[in-house]
Amino acid sequence: MPTSNLDKLHQLTTSGLVDLEILTPTDSKRVKTEFVGLLENKFIILNYPNSRRLPASSDYLRDGVMVVVRALIEGSGGQVIAFRQQIMSVASHPAKLIFINYPKQVQLFALRSQTRIPTLLPAKLKLSDDRILEGLIKDISLTGVMFDIRGDQQDENIKDMQCTVILNSSDKSFEGEICSAKEHVAGVRCGIKLLASEDEMKTFMKEHFIDPSALEPTVE
């Protein structure tokens, strides 16, 4: 009988970040929000994402909608849990919260660190609010890039925003999400998770004389 891993839910921390994927008949939407708590065998409670994270959220977050919840377990050495369930209810008082049916099974994944290759590719970062920021792709992997925004081009937190990375040398662009944004002396360094497939990334690297074989994992 397969392991349910339900005990792992108790390792989630209150206010810890979770990834909420909302499944629709034609598409899916992903948004970051926070874990609030749980009542064992009854429901999981998540914070309702603000409108900046998910515009028109009421169109997607409704009773009965199927969602996938993913979260990193603190102190687990890089384990991610994931489960799929329906939204039980959306509460608006005293705070806006999402109640999700308690899962019957939780999947467990180990995070695998991706090797990154240093680069200096001039590029633009187009944000979901149509702002365009100039910068450099400082390193690249099969799943993302480190984008360095030059100077003082933005004055607010851009973490969790959807974005498009546009290469200056060509019309090539990649959709993605800003997973981290850290200020440094010369600007802001952003870690961006790209939506492109590994094959697309390998093709892009070869076009820019980057050897993708350097990213192949070592089998122990």
Instruction: Provide the residue ranges of all domains of the chain, joining segments of one domain with +.
Output: 6-110, 117-211
216: CB partners within 8 A, 6+ apart: none
Are 67 and 86 in contact, with CB atoms under 8 Å apart? yes
99: CB partners within 8 A, 6+ apart: 43, 44, 45, 87, 88, 89, 90, 91
Q: Comparing 170 with 180, which gets the higher pLDDT?
A: 180
**Range with lowest mean pLDDT among 130-139, 158-167, 197-206:** 197-206
Q: Say yes or no to pLDDT of 217 above 60.
A: no
pLDDT at 209: 63
pTM of the entire predicted model:
0.53
Closest CA relative to residue 174, chosen from 149, 199, 202, 144:
144
Q: Comparing 169 with 42, which gets the higher pLDDT?
A: 42
Q: How confident is the model at residue 156 (pLDDT cuts 50, 70, 90)?
A: low
Q: Comparing 22 with 215, which gets the higher pLDDT?
A: 22
How far apart are alpha carbons 12 and 45 in whole angstroms?
11
Q: Say yes or no to pLDDT of 173 above 70.
A: yes
Query: Percentage of residues in the chain with pLDDT exceeding 90?
Result: 32
How far apart are alpha carbons 37 and 56 in whole angstroms?
25
Torsion angles phi and psi, residue 95, rounded to 5: -140, 155
Q: What is the mean pLDDT of residues 38-56?
A: 89
Question: ∠ CA 70-114-129 to the nearest 5 degrees?
Answer: 60
Are 201 and 142 in contact, with CB atoms under 8 Å apart? yes
117-211: what CATH class? mainly beta
Closest CA relative to residue 147, chosen from 22, 158, 155, 156:
158
CATH of 6-110, one of 3.40.50.360, 3.90.1150.10, 2.30.110.10, 3.30.565.10: 2.30.110.10
Q: What is the mean pLDDT of residues 137-146?
A: 87
